[in-house]
Amino acid sequence: MEHTRDKPFTAEIALPGGALSAYDNHTLRRLSAMRGYFADAERYEQMLAASDIGLYEVYELHRPESSGELLHGTSILHPGKVGDEYFMTKGHFHAVLETAEVYYVLQGQGMMVMETPEGDWAVEELCPGRVLYVPPGWAHRSVNTGGEADLITFFVYPGHAGHDYGSIESQGFRKRVVERDGKPRVVDKARWRPQEER
């Protein structure tokens, strides 16, 4: 039987916005979807009561979720903080743990917080032009430390990877990125305290 192949295709990434010229899914993650993620729960509730702002957006092209495919798109993380903790993505392991991901930074400043189920952790700075390789087995979360600009990244990962949000949602990452004296600082999750208590 004759095999029907998809045709090659292209897309453009609009900057500074980060939208793909052609996409199938646009996800907007709002503050209300992030309850329990930020350390300062009180400040989180205050902000949410004032407005359910959008924290980040993802534009994706639909591809079959099979291992030969590469899922790709753009992630746009807006600037801001909940208390002293910078806006960030939820973060996840891939459901098929042993699958990697590549991020290319198009705009903005940030950090990628990563960790493994075995207890290793890593934080890499994200700046325009930088390529970050997230090896198989590492949970990953992007953080916008830029202050005013969106953090825009282009990502590519295997079609069969899937997402596992559960363990990060319940336990968080070992490290958080907070503002101290106007600068980003990586702190232990356990050591975090609201400003007033320090």
Piece of 82-90, 96-104, 108-116, 118-126 that binds Zn ion (CB under 5 A): 96-104
Distances in Å between the Cα of 29 and the Cα atoms of 70, 73, 150, 172, 189 are: 23, 15, 14, 18, 23
Residues 6+ apart with CB under 8 A from 2: none
Of 67 and 195, which has the nearer Cβ to ligand S6P?
67
Query: Which of 44, 154, 155, 192 is the binder for ligand S6P (CB under 6 A)?
Result: 155
> Per CB under 6 A, does 158 bind ligand S6P?
no
Closest C-alpha to 126, from 113, 139, 138: 113
Site for ligand S6P in 98-137 (CB under 6 A): 101
| Contact string (CB under 6 A) for ligand S6P, positions 2-41, x = contact | ---------------------------x------------
Query: Which of 101, 151, 177, 192 is the binder for Zn ion (CB under 5 A)?
Result: 101
Helices (H), the chain: 41-50, 166-171
Residue 99 φ then ψ, to 5°: -130, 140
Q: What does the alpha-carbon distance between residue 198 and residue 182 come to, in Å, rounded to a whole number? A: 17
Strand partners of residue 122: 114
Piece of 6-14, 40-48, 84-92, 120-128 that binds ligand S6P (CB under 6 A): 84-92
Neighbours of 60 (CB within 10 A): 17
> Per CB under 6 A, does 144 bind ligand S6P?
no
Task: Respond yes or no on whether the N-terminal peptide bond of residue 16 is cis (omega within 30° of 0).
Answer: yes
Of 40 and 101, which has the nearer Cβ to ligand S6P?
101
> Per CB under 6 A, does 90 bind ligand S6P?
yes
Of 29 and 174, which has the nearer Cβ to ligand S6P?
29
Interface residues with Zn ion (CB under 5 A)? 101
- Residue numbers at the binding site for ligand S6P (CB under 6 A): 29, 58, 75, 89-92, 101, 140, 142, 155, 157
